[in-house]
Amino acid sequence: MSAAACVPFCPSPASSRHGAGPIVDVAGLPPATEAEEHGAGRDLLEFGVNGVIGANSDSDDAAAAEIDDEEEHSVRRPRAVVQKFMCERKAVGDGFALRRSIGRPELQSLDPFISLDEFEFSRPAGFTDHPHRGFENVTYMLEGGLSYHDFSGHKGTINTGDVQWMTAGRGVVHAEMPGGEGVQRGLNLWLNLSSKDKMVAPRYQELRSRDIPTAEKDGVSVKVIAGEALGARSPIQTRTPAMWLDVTMRPGARLRQPVPAGWSACAYVLDGEASFGQPGDEAAGAHHCVVFGNDGDGVDVRSEGAGARFLLLAARPHGEAVALDGPFVMNTSEEVQQAREDYLNRRNGFEMAAGWTSGQ
């Protein structure tokens, strides 16, 4: 199963903190060793398969401090736009179509982002039981619902405006199907894990639409799926420090959003049009991907015409080689082969796949 066709659907019970589900480690997996959970990182200063090298990462605490420091002042040096392109709609089989922004020839990856798809599907489309290892898989529903079932027994449906953040880690097997009649639309992100996190225990986090932190200021409304914006912070905990904002702007509004130095950043326009970068830059319309350079302390956006809605994504790069093959995202081809063998032999994280079927 390729990144084009796979989206995560993993439930977690509600909790009191902004309605978020707690982190749920998949029950029944053998415990990871200390080396698996906290293994040493690698400094692979080379281009990997489908990989773009970025800065080496520091600690997660340092990244959090970077965000806090950036929030204390306005953006002084907006990042420039270095790439912009239209994402065409492409049908993939019967009942499934997508618009791919990251993971296409013009932008094979944006370390640590592996792929970003705006997808739509309806019956008879569906994705039967398949594995994952080595990355975080995020689904954000725009319209309709998606039903999920994984090998640990998690099952249910996420609906319009809901988000689920799945850390595949050392192994997950699941199935996904349309959650209702008609067309279901959403966004699917593959966020790479660092070498030290590839074999962590799987976990799921969930926010219902009504519980996603939202902030409004001067004609700008931001739903904070991950990270922080306009004083609102998401409870989602990411293995790789990251930001995902769903931004809606009224005509003539402006957003100056800090982004930590060294992080990769891009925007994907859902509706309307907006100007990113320097004043006078050509506006980007619906289904355009905008990639920012690393020089600057944030992003400056101005809405045009009838306003705009776009996603702003940023994350700290790993600076490691990437070996991507179907549902596995590892650092070397040998690790990918090991993942395939582990799945086929139901071991090292795939034990619960033995004898299991979703029934889809």
Residue 304: per-residue pLDDT? 81
Residue 7: per-residue pLDDT? 37
Q: Is residue 248 part of a domain?
A: yes
Cα–Cα distance for residue pair 175/128, rounded to 1 Å: 5
CB atoms within 10 A of CB 172: 29
Q: Is residue 252 part of a domain?
A: yes
Task: Going from the first residue of the chain to its last (360 residues), give the mean pLDDT of each consecutive group of 10, the final group possibly shorter.
Answer: 37 25 33 34 25 32 44 78 97 94 96 97 89 97 94 92 95 92 95 98 94 97 98 96 98 96 97 88 94 95 93 98 96 98 97 91
Q: Is residue 12 part of a domain?
A: no
Residue 177: per-residue pLDDT? 86
Residue 281: per-residue pLDDT? 81
Q: Is residue 65 part of a domain?
A: no
Residue 97: per-residue pLDDT? 96
Residue 359: per-residue pLDDT? 83
Residue 345: per-residue pLDDT? 97
Between the alpha carbon of residue 44 and those of residues 48, 52, 331, the distances in Å are: 9, 11, 9
Residue 66: per-residue pLDDT? 45
Q: Kindly report the CA angle at 344 between 339 and 350, in degrees rounded to 5?
A: 65
Q: Is residue 32 part of a domain?
A: no
Containing structural domain, residue 267: 81-315
Q: Is residue 247 part of a domain?
A: yes
Of 11, 355, 357, the residue nearest 154 (C-alpha): 11
CATH of the domain at 250: 2.60.120.10
Domain count, the chain: 1
Cα–Cα distance for residue pair 198/215, rounded to 1 Å: 34
Q: Is residue 35 part of a domain?
A: no
State the pTM of this model.
0.81
At 353, is the secondary structure helix, strand, or coil?
helix
Q: Is residue 119 part of a domain?
A: yes
Contacts of 16 (CB under 8 A, 6+ apart): none
